[in-house]
């Protein structure tokens, strides 16, 4: 009597019980995990664990999820304000004052920047020098030591229209002029050496006025590196 044969269906096709052909692969269990099939034409890559870990660290750091290396400490900068003045400067006159203002550092310093703001909105011509020289205009190609900053500005021009009283100024030149030196550099001034502001002012207005001029110096103390 011919025995009953049960046909099993699987992804490999129909397989009969009792089939002794070893070339036919057994049917896998339906509960077993499926193996991924390789993509034709693309070889399976082997990524080294160290390289993969390095890539992950780079991505996390760039995304801000991991702290980067600490930023360098900020070097404190000090400010010196030099108050200078010509005193009363009569209309139409030239007022030249050497040592119009002074600042004497109490330690060795390196000046890293300077700033001068125009402070009069009338017809003035102002020439300003910041240096350790005792008089203005001593900075030259042969001796420029202690020469920090030099600038000029002119206020609005006086418009004369034939009136018997009053005056009109045309234009404006209110500005702040500054200079800063490259990072890591500065003009060194020794302890006790005076830093002067020299003024040369020409009053082209119709009024007598007292010309006050501030100069701001930004510096670092050299002894903090010792």
Report DSSP letters for 159-177, one per residue: EP-S-SS--EEE-----EE
Q: For position 8, what pLDDT does the model report?
A: 46
Give the percent of the chain with pLDDT over 90.
Answer: 42
Q: For position 187, what pLDDT does the model report?
A: 95
Secondary structure (3-state) at 60: helix
Structure tokens given for 97 = 């004052």
Nearest partner of 179 among 214, 215, 153, judged by Cα? 215
- Asked whether the predicted pLDDT for residue 100 surpasses 80, the reply is yes
Write down the mean pLDDT value for the chain. 77
Give the pLDDT mean for 14-19.
50
Q: What is the pLDDT of residues 206-225, one digit of tens each?
A: 888 888 999 999 999 998 65
Q: What is the pLDDT of residues 103-115, one digit of tens each?
A: 999 999 999 999 9
CA-to-CA distance for 69 and 171, rounded, in angstroms? 52
Q: For position 79, what pLDDT does the model report?
A: 96
Q: Lowest mean pLDDT: which of 45-54, 102-111, 125-134, 190-199?
A: 45-54
* Burial (CB count within 10 angstroms: exposed 0-12, middle 13-18, buried 19+), residue 39: exposed
Grade residue 9 by pLDDT with cuts at 50, 70 and 90.
very low
Higher pLDDT, 133 or 169: 133
Grade residue 7 by pLDDT with cuts at 50, 70 and 90.
very low
Secondary structure (3-state) at 59: helix
Q: Lowest mean pLDDT: which of 10-19, 35-44, 82-91, 147-156?
A: 10-19
Q: Are 125 and 211 in contact (CB under 8 A)?
A: no
CA-to-CA distance for 139 and 146, rounded, in angstroms? 8
CA-to-CA distance for 113 and 81, rounded, in angstroms? 12
- Go through the domains of the chain in sequence order and give each one's CATH number: 78-225 (2.60.120)
Q: For position 177, what pLDDT does the model report?
A: 87
- Asked whether the predicted pLDDT for residue 6 surpasses 50, the reply is no
* Burial (CB count within 10 angstroms: exposed 0-12, middle 13-18, buried 19+), residue 211: buried
* Global confidence as pTM: 0.63
Q: What is the pLDDT of residues 115-167, one digit of tens each?
A: 998 876 677 889 999 999 999 999 999 999 999 999 988 877 766 666 566 66
Number of other CB atoms surrounding residue 183 within 10 Å = 7
Q: Are strands 168-170 and 13-16 parallel, antiparallel or unpaired?
A: unpaired
Q: For position 176, what pLDDT does the model report?
A: 74
Q: How far is CA 63 from CA 49, 52, 67, 68, 70, in A?
A: 21, 17, 10, 10, 16
Degrees (nearest 5) of the Cα angle 197, 201, 202? 175
- Asked whether the predicted pLDDT for residue 16 surpasses 60, the reply is no
CA-to-CA distance for 213 and 101, rounded, in angstroms? 9
């Amino acid at each position: 009597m011919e025995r009953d044969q049960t046909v099993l269906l699987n992804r490999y096709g129909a397989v009969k019980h009792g089939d002794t052909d070893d070339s036919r692969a057994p049917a896998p269990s339906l509960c077993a995990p499926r193996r991924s099939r390789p993509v034709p034409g693309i070889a399976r890559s082997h990524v080294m664990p160290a390289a993969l870990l390095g890539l992950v660290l780079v991505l996390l750091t760039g995304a801000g999820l991991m702290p980067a290396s600490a930023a360098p400490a900020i070097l404190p900068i000090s400010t010196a304000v030099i108050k200078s003045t010509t005193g009363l400067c009569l209309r139409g006159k030239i007022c030249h004052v050497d040592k119009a203002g002074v600042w004497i550092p109490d330690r060795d310093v390196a000046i890293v920047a300077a700033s001068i703001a125009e402070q009069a909105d009338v017809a003035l011509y102002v020439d300003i020098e910041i240096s350790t020289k005792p008089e203005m205009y001593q900075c030259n190609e042969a001796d420029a030591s202690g020469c920090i900053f030099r600038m000029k500005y002119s206020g609005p021009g006086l418009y004369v229209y034939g009136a018997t009283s009053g005056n009109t100024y045309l234009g404006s030149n209110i500005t702040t002029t500054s200079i800063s030196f490259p990072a890591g550099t500065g003009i060194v001034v020794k302890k006790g050496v005076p830093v002067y502001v020299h003024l040369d002012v020409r009053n082209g207005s119709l009024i007598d006025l007292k010309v006050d001029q501030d100069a701001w110096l930004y510096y670092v103390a050299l002894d903090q590196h010792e």
